[in-house]
């Protein structure tokens, strides 16, 4: 490893920062950007100071831990707001809506059609064609109640 550092010189940290930046674009989550920032800081310090390799590695490790820990704390206190919070919870988007039963609910189970999809429904026994309101969802089954 010492050979790699001696061959590339101060560029090693800038290359590491670029690789971590690219990984951030490929891998989901907010993690590698902080490693890229730590590598860039070490690379920047090497432009000004002559720092031994062991100190560089230690500095990178410390800066990485501080950056990741700090970002996790910040995001924990300031969660990222989404304009579509139910994007991956499709069944939750149907709560409160009224639909007609496709198949009767018998013994607590039936089916209702929403768009081009048949959903399992759970609720009181009702004949096919009855209007029902979706009140919730559990394990992919829509919980419904009769609409009078």
Give 103's contacts (C-beta < 8 A, 6+ positions apart): 110, 111, 112, 128
Using 50, 70 and 90 to split pLDDT, how confident is the model at 81?
Answer: confident
DSSP 8-state assignment for residue 117: E
What is the per-residue pLDDT across 93-145, written as a single tens digit (0 to 9) for each? 889 999 999 999 999 999 999 988 899 999 999 999 999 999 998 988 999 99
More confident residue, 38 or 93: 38
What is the C-alpha end-to-end distance of the chain, expressed in Å? 74
* pLDDT mean over 77-85: 78
| pLDDT for residue 7 | 61
**Is pTM, for the whole model, over 0.85?**
no
- Quick: pLDDT tens for 3-37: 655 566 778 999 999 999 999 999 988 889 999 99
117-122 and 141-146 as β-strands: parallel, antiparallel, unpaired? parallel
How many DSSP H helices and E strands does the chain contain? 4, 5
Q: Can you tell me which residue has the tokens 């990178």?
A: 60
- Higher pLDDT among residues 85 and 114, named by residue: 114
Number of residues assigned to the chain = 148
């Amino acid at each position: 490893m010492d050979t790699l550092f001696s061959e590339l010189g101060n560029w090693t940290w800038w290359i590491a920062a670029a690789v971590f930046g690219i990984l951030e674009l490929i891998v989901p989550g907010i993690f590698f950007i902080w490693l890229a920032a730590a590598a860039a800081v070490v690379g920047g310090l090497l432009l000004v100071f002559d720092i031994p390799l062991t100190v560089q590695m230690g500095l990178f490790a410390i800066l990485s831990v501080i950056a990741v820990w700090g970002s996790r704390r910040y995001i924990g206190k300031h969660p990222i707001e989404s304009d579509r919070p139910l994007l991956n919870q499709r069944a939750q988007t149907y709560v409160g809506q009224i639909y007609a039963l496709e198949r009767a609910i018998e013994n607590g189970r039936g089916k209702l059609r929403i768009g081009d999809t048949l959903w399992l429904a759970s609720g009181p026994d009702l004949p096919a064609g009855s209007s029902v309101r979706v009140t919730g969802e559990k394990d992919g089954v829509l919980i419904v109640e009769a609409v009078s």
